[in-house]
């Protein structure tokens, strides 16, 4: 019998003040540091849902929409958007708040696919997901669509002959020089 959990039971929020040690030479927070925080919250959310150790299988759609400044309070919100047999898609929203003005900006939304593992490193079945509102249903359906698109891209990529005349001709429009 499959066990089910509500989306809200696995949600995780974290906040962290951005310090100069997290920044690049331009005073903006390193994208890699933000990705590291996102990976941590994805792990926490997936582990909370599955009750098991989880690993990152893939990261989709990482678009840095707005820069994060030193001194801003970054808040990340993670939710289980989709569950498969052993995998979960964790949706993460990243916001930065100017703590002096109270202004909040949306900096990133991303999707991490996490896989639950047992003590031997084998994939472990995860609980099903109870969807209680239109927002949860929409997130689940969008995850199905993203998964299908990802599989189609992967299939198309592997089936494409990039050495064909069509692709060699396409490269002429770019700043490359081909020497064989």
- Assigned domain for 23 exists: yes
Q: How many degrees, rounded to 5, is the angle at CA 94 between CA 88 and CA 98? A: 165
Going by C-alpha positions, the residue among 34, 39, 37 that lies closest to residue 63 is: 34
- Assigned domain for 126 exists: yes
Q: What is the mean pLDDT of the chain?
A: 94
Model confidence at 88, pLDDT cuts 50, 70, 90, reads very high
Contact 107, 31 (CB under 8 A): no
CA distance linking residue 17 with residue 4, whole number of Å? 35
- Assigned domain for 46 exists: yes
- Assigned domain for 113 exists: yes
CA distance linking residue 174 with residue 172, whole number of Å? 5
- Assigned domain for 139 exists: no
Question: What's the pLDDT at 173?
Answer: 81
Please compute Rg for the chain using Cα positions.
Answer: 20
| pTM of the predicted model as reported, rounded to 2 decimal places | 0.89
Question: What's the pLDDT at 101?
Answer: 97
- Assigned domain for 77 exists: yes
- pLDDT score of 179 more than 80: no
- Assigned domain for 66 exists: yes
CATH number for position 66: 3.10.129.10
CA distance linking residue 43 with residue 116, whole number of Å? 10
Q: How many degrees, rounded to 5, is the angle at CA 59 between CA 30 and CA 161? A: 115
Q: Tell me: the pLDDT tens digits for 123-171?
A: 999 999 999 999 999 999 999 999 999 999 989 988 888 878 887 778 8
- Assigned domain for 164 exists: no
Exposed e or buried b for every residue in 128-161, given b needs 16+ CB within 10 A? Answer: ebebeeeebeebbeebeebbeeeeeeeeeeeeee
Residue-number span of the structural domain to which 125 is assigned: 4-131
Per DSSP bridges, beta strands 73-83 and 128-130 are unpaired
Residue 44 CA, chain-centre distance (Å), reads: 13
Contact 53, 115 (CB under 8 A): no
Tally the domains of the chain.
1
Per DSSP bridges, beta strands 87-97 and 104-117 are antiparallel
């Amino acid at each position: 019998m499959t066990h089910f959990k509500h989306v809200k039971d696995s949600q995780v929020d974290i906040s962290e003040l951005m310090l100069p040690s997290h920044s690049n030479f331009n005073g903006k927070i390193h994208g890699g540091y933000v990705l590291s925080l996102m990976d941590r919250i994805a792990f926490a959310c997936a582990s909370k849902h599955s009750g098991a150790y989880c690993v990152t299988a893939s990261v989709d759609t990482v678009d840095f929409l707005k820069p994060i400044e030193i001194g801003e309070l970054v808040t990340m919100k993670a939710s289980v958007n989709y569950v498969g047999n052993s995998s979960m898609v964790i949706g993460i929203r990243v916001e930065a708040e100017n703590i002096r003005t109270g202004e909040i900006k949306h900096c990133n939304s991303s999707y991490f696919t996490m896989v639950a593992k047992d003590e031997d490193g084998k994939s472990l079945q995860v609980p099903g997901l109870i969807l209680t509102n239109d927002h949860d249903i929409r997130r689940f359906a969008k995850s199905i669509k993203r998964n299908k698109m990802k599989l189609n891209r992967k299939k198309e990529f592997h089936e494409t002959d990039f050495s064909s005349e069509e692709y060699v001709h396409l490269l002429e429009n770019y700043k490359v020089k081909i020497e064989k």
